[in-house]
């Protein structure tokens, strides 16, 4: 056998071993499974018919690639999850939108002892089309979170969720930087072995350089096994927002639901329904309602498909009267040879109807995505 054939055979054997491994294993095990390092990457080729989410509808081809490193430490009472990702996004026509979007994430998680919880620290750069202001925004985002769980007795446990978000827009004087503080307290009462009663209160303060908003949200609901084969969280409540600079007060009855239905061993359906207040990139208040239903079907260990359909309504509460409604659907498929090779393709459609003529638009997009993890 020639040297060239030997090298070709070695290469073939190496690739076969690489992609045939089905379980996830770390690129580096420093201390057994207590300290692991993973490396991952991806590449995406996509098309977007409306990159700015506006009536004009400028289209573009988008090429992106990412490379990241993840550390998992499971020694001591504090588990550590750390991740660094460098993402590059290139636009074929709108070159001014090409950007680097890094993402740094750190989680310290305590799962041992009576009081448990997690501290999360995140920083990332985002580039996306914002249909509320009909421009493509680029921003630096720094969210922090602290979640604590304390069991009072076998039937009752309390949770606390503290949040902070700072968003700073890049290369623009028209958009307003935003800071968000939130604090929520909830109780969970174990009604049965499968069902909990949950209730609580959340205060959220949002601040820009033109106004400050304060949201008060009271909710009551159910969690875990809501019906046979259906589990999740369903909460109903009342919320009101105070706007400091105008003295306006807005209120609504809201809902927050995340449900999963295991229809069969291969088919899973899920639904998300939310109503909340949000703040636009120019400081306005919106009463938002969003629904999304998704289905996932697993043909085999390597092939699966998913589809989704959604509807939403946004009522702009400040400034000129404006109401947006949208309908969206998507379909996609994934081929997984192993954790070292995953290929997926997606198609998405969105139609936004607005009382503001410039905000009427259609948007379609498709992409091909390749990912690998070691």
C-alpha 228/C-alpha 297 separation (Å) is: 20
- pLDDT for 57: 86
CB 370 within 8 A of CB 340: no
* R_g over Cα of the chain: 24
> Who contacts 226 (Cβ-Cβ below 8 Å, separation ≥6)?
195, 232, 234, 259
- pLDDT for 46: 97
Residues of the chain with pLDDT under 70: 1-25, 27-28, 30-32
Residue 217's nearest CA partner among 235, 233, 230 is: 235
Residue 281's nearest CA partner among 177, 207, 187 is: 177
- pLDDT for 25: 60
CB 66 within 8 A of CB 87: yes
- pLDDT for 11: 43
Residue 86's nearest CA partner among 108, 70, 107 is: 70
Give whole-number Cα distances, 248 to 138, 256, 322, in Å. 30, 24, 17
- pLDDT for 32: 66
C-alpha 241/C-alpha 221 separation (Å) is: 21
Report the predicted TM-score, pTM, of the whole model to 2 decimal places.
0.87
- pLDDT for 173: 75
- pLDDT for 339: 83
């Amino acid at each position: 056998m020639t040297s060239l054939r030997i090298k070709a055979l070695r290469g073939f054997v190496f690739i076969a071993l690489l992609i045939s491994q089905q379980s996830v294993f770390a690129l580096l095990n420093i201390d057994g499974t207590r300290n692991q390092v993973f490396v991952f990457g991806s590449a995406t080729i996509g098309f977007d018919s409306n990159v700015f989410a506006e009536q004009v509808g400028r289209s573009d081809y988008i090429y992106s690639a990412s490379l990241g490193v993840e550390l998992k430490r499971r020694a001591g009472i504090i588990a550590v999850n750390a991740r660094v990702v460098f993402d590059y996004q290139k636009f074929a026509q709108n070159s001014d939108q090409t950007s680097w979007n890094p993402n740094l994430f750190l989680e310290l998680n305590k799962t041992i002892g009576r009081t448990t919880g997690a501290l999360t620290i995140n920083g990332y750069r985002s580039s996306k089309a914002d249909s509320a202001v009909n421009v493509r925004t680029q921003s630096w985002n720094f969210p922090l979170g602290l979640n604590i769980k304390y069991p009072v007795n076998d039937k009752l446990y309390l949770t606390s969720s503290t949040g902070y978000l700072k968003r700073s827009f890049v290369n623009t004087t028209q958009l307003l930087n935003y800071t968000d503080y939130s604090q929520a307290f909830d109780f969970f009462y174990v009604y049965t072995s499968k069902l909990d009663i949950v209730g609580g209160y959340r205060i959220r303060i949002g601040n820009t350089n033109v106004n400050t908003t304060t949201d008060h949200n009271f909710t009551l609901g159910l969690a875990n096994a809501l019906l046979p084969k259906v589990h999740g969280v369903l909460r109903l409540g009342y919320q009101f927002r105070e706007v400091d600079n105008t003295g306006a007060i807005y209120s609504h009855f809201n809902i927050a639901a995340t449900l999963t239905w295991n229809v069969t061993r291969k088919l899973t359906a899920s639904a998300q329904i939310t109503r909340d207040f949000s703040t636009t990139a120019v400081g306005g208040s919106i009463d938002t309602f969003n629904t999304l239903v998704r289905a996932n079907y697993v043909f085999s260990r390597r092939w699966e498909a998913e589809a989704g359909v959604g509807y939403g309504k946004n009522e702009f509460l400040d400034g000129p009267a404006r109401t947006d409604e949208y309908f969206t659907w998507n379909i996609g498929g994934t081929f997984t040879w192993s954790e070292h090779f995953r290929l997926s393709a997606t198609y998405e459609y969105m139609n936004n109807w607005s009382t503001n003529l410039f905000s009427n638009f259609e948007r379609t997009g498709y992409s091909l995505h390749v990912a690998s993890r070691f």
